[in-house]
Structure 1
Amino acid sequence: MTDSLIVGAGPVGLTLASELARYGIGVRLIDRAPRATETSKALVVWSRTLELMDRMGCTRAFLEAGLRAQGASIRSGGAILGRPRFDDIASAYNFALMIPQRDTERLLAAHLGTFGVSVEREVELTGFTEAADGVEARLRHADGREETVSTPWLLGCDGAHSTVRHGLGVAFRGEAQGDDWLLADVRLEGAGAPPPDEIATYLHREGPFVIFPIPGGRARIIGTLGRSDPARPRPEPNLADVQALIEQRAGGGFRACDPVWLTNFRINERKVAEYSRGRVFLAGDAAHIHSPAGGQGMNTGMQDAINLAWKLAMVARGGAAATLLDSYGPERSAVGDLVLRNAGRLTDMATLSHPAAQAARNAALRFLLGFHAVRDKIAATMGETEIAYPASPLSRGPGAGARWDPGDDDGPPPGAGREPRFLLYAADRARGAGLAARFPRLLDPDPRTSPDPSRLFLVRPDGYRGLSAQAAAWDEAETYLRGLAPGGP
């Protein structure tokens, strides 16, 4: 029996496998594809994901491989309507790290390899059967060999066409946005190209046009092509199509050359209502897909994985009650709803077709983006530092569920420990050590100094506030921990 079986070795599956392995949970990670992603696909790693990578222990490799975009511009008719900057994101990583998905997968696979785990390629999940104490999964290998695997946990990170989701019979509700879009990874030459550290959005009467910088002097271009017609699929684009969009939407002044990827795509917006059933869990695109506007998709999926991993590890190792896992679905479903809503609004705003609506949009953007507070809000939303779990069953007290600011640590973030534990921040560290001794599987043995002497905090392994209480509320802290411990209160 394997401790856990993860289906799908994209960024989400690799993140989940790495975190479970870091916590000492045995992992098998399978993928039916013969090789890892070879195209750029998802491009952006945002601030909050980089902070969580600090806990994983792999941020440095990503920083060395990526390009730091310092801000964005919103343009129309040769004018710049506004320039949100990422510098004021309240994080050490106050930028958008541009890195092709093929490199993200390569770096995560290398990180996973440090725990002695590798991806099993050309292995396909063909079905599974659930039981009270585990899951029996049926696998098919490239040579046709069939295998049956018993595992306590089946974890579906297998994308929009998830076999795990289909096996659960969970509805994937939503709809397709009505336009065809062009995608091109190219080089840009000419003085009129946007700065190489900026995400540039051009709003045009025929539709939006966006340029994302990519490491190595390349750029990703996407733009609408018009309404989709299922009866008449568009031919694959060529470089002339890309240049025509540059001339029409961005006013020319630069040219595209040296393409490495040209394709069309459509936007789907779908989400499950349930992220888990029994011992089967969904994460990433298996649970939610949405517009690429804002670049939130891969980040949301990786944060699904990080949220699930520490909870699963605590339960699997006997350090917490199984009810801890009940918080995964509500927490991440709420985030999925938020990301879907924000990405959909951005797409709807950018694709307005009526001239009067476009003019009103541009005027409103020019006005609003003149305010520093509005620009900061946009940057914080994109950087995902405002993601929180206020309604979670794990959140108690004022401000509970909010991100714990890494700047409030008086020590390094938890590294490659073999067990996830809560961290206690309190003024009375001696009393805190006594509390930790009573809950050695739940609480780190070394309390830290609270940044607010009047408050006591219990911070989750994923860096969010679980309990926020008065400094002397030791009974409240003990009750909180007892509610998580095996056997309950």
Structure 2
Amino acid sequence: MTLPAPPLHTDILIAGAGPAGMALRLALARLGVAAVQVDKHAAGLNTSRAAVLHARTLEVLEPLGVVPDLLAHGLKVQDFRIRAGSDVLLHIGFDAIPSAYPFALLCPQNRTEAILQSRLDAGALAITRPARLVSAAATPDGIAAGLALPDGATQTVHARWLVGCDGAHSAVRNLAGIAFEGGDYSETFVLADVRMDGPWRDEVSLFFSPDGLMVVAPLPEDDGSSTDRYRIVATVAATSDQPALADVQALVDQRGPAARVRELLWSSAFHLQHRLAAQVHRGRFLLCGDAAHVHSPAGGQGMNIGIQDAVELAEPLALALRAGDLSGIEAWARRRHEVAREVVRMTDGLTRMATVSSGLGRAVRQAVLGLVGHSEFLRQRIAVRLAELEE
């Protein structure tokens, strides 16, 4: 729905209305901080994209009142296994992690966004869309941001802070002149939601193959029930923009145990990067989520650290607005930048480990994973890290 043009002055202007942007808006509203939120899309995207919420993310979302709905519409999974074909190389269990949420919650991103949107609606917190950020310049007390509106007009909004939650191609990051450092993966990533006769209903599986990695994760139905719906993510040398059922079946046949893909619900192919913004705070510009970091989907970390970036920013922003104290924002920027750096390093390592092609390399990998698998301490450390409870 197209909403009226935003007001000319606001404390906080949030660009982007994905999970990070909506979480930030809710966290600010809880603290009584006024914000304007804009998004370039006319409506929320209806594809499932990211599909897992980890324990730390559920913890930080608790004060926003959305966790009961997420739990009702998600699927709890306690096991993560790394496999090579039918062989289990490493089993990580989440059942003993130090959290009230000892599991990974499988919940498609469009459903997570719908739950966040419902909470915004309940608080009469409107998103102005479609409205595209086209300019931003520093002023003595903030940022003058130019928005392109649907009627062709441009409106200037004066904000004390501008927060970019606007994705990997962030206009906020570009306008702030912040470098996005890293590189591109040579492979193409295939993303598909399917109905499949598979043996992995109670786990998330990461398959290692000389041809590339494949992640298989169970997905819930709309009511949270468990049936035969799965998410598949895989690296390939090349594919069409919308891989067909036969393409997905070929990946499963090549990289996993025998399973029949009965129906393709949705598919996409995309190129991915491993990049980190040089900084997440420059003047009155701030970056959260994919605007600040992008990386491999191995480990299911991306949406999670984006939501955490956003929720943890709310209190430092409120302090800056009310007391002029920037120390909280500076500490937030250091902390979240280091968290992102570690996640980019970890997911890139998993991706490269998955695609080792030499016999010697695979033997070394299997030996290392075997040693880890025999150490309860190391398995628990990995579980805590994947759940993002070290952050």
TM-score range, shorter chain: over 0.9
Give, in whole Å, the separation in 2 of the partners of 1:124 and 1:55: 30
Does 1:225 find its partner at 2:233? no
Does 1:56 find its partner at 2:64? yes
Alignment partner, residue 251 of structure 1: 257
Alignment partner, residue 180 of structure 2: 172
Does 1:18 find its partner at 2:51? no
Q: After TM superposition, what 4+ stretches of structure 1 lie above 4 angstroms from structure 2?
A: none
1:345-379 Cα distance to aligned partner (Å, 9 max, x none): 11111111212211221232123212211221111
Kindly state the Cα deviation for residue 266 of structure 1 after the two structures are TM-superposed. 2.3
Does 1:299 find its partner at 2:304? yes
Alignment partner, residue 263 of structure 1: 268
SS in 2 for 1:16: helix
Give, in whole Å, the separation in 2 of the partners of 1:160 and 1:264: 16
Give, in whole Å, the separation in 1 of the partners of 2:348 and 2:207: 18
SS in 2 for 1:84: strand
**Which amino acid in the other structure matches residue 206 of structure 1?**
D
Give the TM-score, by structure 2 length.
Answer: 0.93
Percent of aligned pairs with the same residue? 40
Give, in whole Å, the separation in 2 of the partners of 1:5 and 1:284: 16
Does 1:313 find its partner at 2:318? yes
Alignment partner, residue 363 of structure 2: 359
Count of residue pairs the alignment pairs up: 377
SS in 2 for 1:104: helix
Alignment partner, residue 5 of structure 2: none
Give, in whole Å, the separation in 1 of the partners of 2:217 and 2:200: 10
Kindly state the Cα deviation for residue 115 of structure 1 after the two structures are TM-superposed. 2.6
Give, in whole Å, the separation in 1 of the partners of 2:192 and 2:121: 32
Give the TM-score, by structure 1 length.
Answer: 0.75
Kindly state the Cα deviation for residue 277 of structure 1 after the two structures are TM-superposed. 1.5
Greater RCO (Cα-Cα under 8 Å, separation 6 or more): 2
Kindly state the Cα deviation for residue 55 of structure 1 after the two structures are TM-superposed. 2.3
Larger Cα Rg: Structure 1 or Structure 2? 1
Change (3 A) 1:77 1:6: closer
Map 1:32-431 to 2 at 5 A: 32-189=40-197, 193-216=198-221, 217=227, 218-226=229-237, 234=240, 236-252=242-258, 254-318=259-323, 321-387=325-391
Q: Which has the higher strand share?
A: 2
Give, in whole Å, the separation in 2 of the partners of 1:150 and 1:251: 56
Kindly state the Cα deviation for residue 235 of structure 1 after the two structures are TM-superposed. 5.4
Change (3 A) 1:375 1:323: closer
**Which amino acid in the other structure matches residue 238 of structure 1?**
A
SS in 1 for 2:93: coil
The farther-off stretch of 202-211 and 105-114 is 202-211
The farther-off stretch of 78-87 and 19-28 is 78-87
Change (3 A) 1:361 1:30: same
Give, in whole Å, the separation in 2 of the partners of 1:205 and 1:30: 43
Name structure 1 gaps, 5 residues minimum: 388-489
Change (3 A) 1:247 1:29: same
**RMSD, aligned α-carbons:** 1.5
1:176-233 Cα distance to aligned partner (Å, 9 max, x none): 11212222110112xxx2331200122223222220111123111122223x6xxxx7
Give, in whole Å, the separation in 2 of the partners of 1:195 and 1:160: 31
Give, in whole Å, the separation in 1 of the partners of 2:361 and 2:321: 54
1:52-98 Cα distance to aligned partner (Å, 9 max, x none): 11122221111111110111122224222232111011101010011
